[in-house]
Chain A
């Protein structure tokens, strides 16, 4: 079919299952995901890589939520302008979220898509879970 030829780059076989990596609340309410390697992914990728991805994500979220001089300055400035400053300026958190989106896209392209996996940005799931979609291994060596 004409449509599917052009979809070759992202030819997605049927979804076989989804794995959800839950939040890790051991340090409080900050956004942090568990780094434990899910058993369903054992056949697809190695533990090291997965833990590295999760650790980087956790570091990025920690950067977004960091309490420091910069965030206090932003908070105070916002308060003084009666919070109207957010109409024209992007918050620090939003900037880091863009970074995270880019990182996930990057990881998907380099590591996960070749193994038939797809990471979903946690922000699309309300920062509750990291959803990893496992695709059926129908065409070995297809696409990228």
Chain B
């Protein structure tokens, strides 16, 4: 490359110039496209691929709105009274909880849940070849499954027709997002995203902190109304003076049941290293036959299960949203991982070499 006259040209323009002979349609690629722009699943991307959300983002604005409004009312109407009569710690604790809840929620919503990229054409062809050993081509083959042994237990892997690969264990295809997600838990409309391997811990901390926040606000509002009614000798008058408290009470009362229930359920799941998907389907409940088919993924120790699920190493995003697309889609992407610009230059060189090679081959052919 040192002898090449391309040396002086800006790498981004390089992806256009050697190909102009081959692809006349390249003129639209004046700026290099990032991979998120060509992502096949039903997702939305923000901040140039840094944030990912499901296309059907459900009621995320409602969730955020409810949390912000309730907390806002709490800080505006209940805190002044409580600070005066009790302690200044109350708004401080409330503030910390509120920030934690919002941070966890945003993290859950905007993090890649563990989406598996779809198989490349070569991979898909290779798998097809391995499956179609015998059998006529006139009828569609039966649903493809593969049985494997995990910790001496038989697990069936299903073939995903959309992603063209055998799904790894604990992976499920979300029909709303049209992606295979690793360690798929569920698609949460409140959060507007799937909950999977990479964002389960954020989801869990969101519901736990939300339980604390709603219980805290509920307790404080009750205390507020009680103190006020004692002072004014009448609960009706107390409520009249602070109507916002009633709104908060209603919201908290109805949320507490569901949030606390959900927290309890997910604590059980974390302790037994299960996903909602597996629990609902009863994959490991020992229904089949007399043999006790336990969960092959559990560490048989609650503490270890909790630590593994919540504090384990953070796996990287496999979909490389911010990598650049090669100018010619037919060439497999010589992509870097999450690192953005520094490896870009060698990547475009590699592509250019391949293109030059093809060009030279076609000339000599």
Report which A residues bind B (CB closer than 8 A): 1-7, 10-12, 14, 18, 20, 23, 25-29, 64-67, 71-72, 74-76, 78-79, 82-84, 86, 91-94, 97, 101, 121, 123-129, 131
Contacts and interface: CB of A to CB of B under 8 A. Distances in A.
Interface stretch (B55-63, B82-90, B229-237, B333-341): B333-341
A75 B360 CA distance: 52
A97 B343 CA distance: 14
Contact of A6 (B2, B170, B334): B2
B316 A25 contact: no
A126 B103 contact: no
Contacts of B304: 67
Contacts of A127: 318
Interface in B306-330: 307-308, 310-316, 318-320
A33 to B, nearest CB: 12
B310 A75 contact: yes
A1 B318 contact: no
B247 to A, nearest CB: 28
A103 to B, nearest CB: 14
B29 interface: no
A135 B2 CA distance: 25
Given A25-B169, A75-B310, A84 B103 contact: yes
A101 B337 contact: yes
A71 B312 contact: yes
Contact of A23 (B99, B149, B168): B168
Given A83-B103, A125-B123, 11 more contacts: A3-B4, A4-B357, A10-B353, A23-B168, A28-B297, A65-B313, A66-B313, A67-B312, A75-B311, A94-B316, A126-B318
Contacts of B307: 67, 72, 75
Nearest to B319: A126
Contacts of A28: 150-151, 169, 296-297
Interface stretch (B113-121, B215-223, B264-272): B113-121
Given A23-B168, A25-B168, A79-B205, A97 B316 contact: yes
8 contacts: A2-B3, A2-B5, A6-B2, A11-B357, A12-B353, A28-B296, A74-B311, A75-B310
Given A25-B150, A126-B116, A3 B360 contact: yes
A123 B316 contact: yes
B356 interface: yes
A82 B360 contact: no
Q: How large is the interface on B (under 10, 10 to 19, 20 to 34, 35 or more residues)?
A: 35 or more
Contacts of B168: 23, 25, 29, 128
B238 interface: no
Contact of B165 (A93, A101, A128): A128
Contacts of B4: 2-3, 6
B2 A82 contact: no
Given A14-B361, A71-B311, A26 B150 contact: yes
Nearest to B209: A82
B123 A129 contact: yes
Contacts of A97: 316, 337
B116 A128 contact: yes
Contact of A20 (B126, B148, B333): B126
Contacts of A78: 314
B183 interface: yes
Contacts of A3: 4, 356, 359-360
A121 B316 CA distance: 14
A65 B89 CA distance: 40
Contact of B313 (A25, A86, A91, A124): A91
A2 B117 CA distance: 38
A67 to B, nearest CB: 6
Nearest to B333: A124
B131 to A, nearest CB: 13
Contact of A76 (B99, B151, B311): B311
B179 to A, nearest CB: 11
A15 to B, nearest CB: 9
Contacts of A84: 103
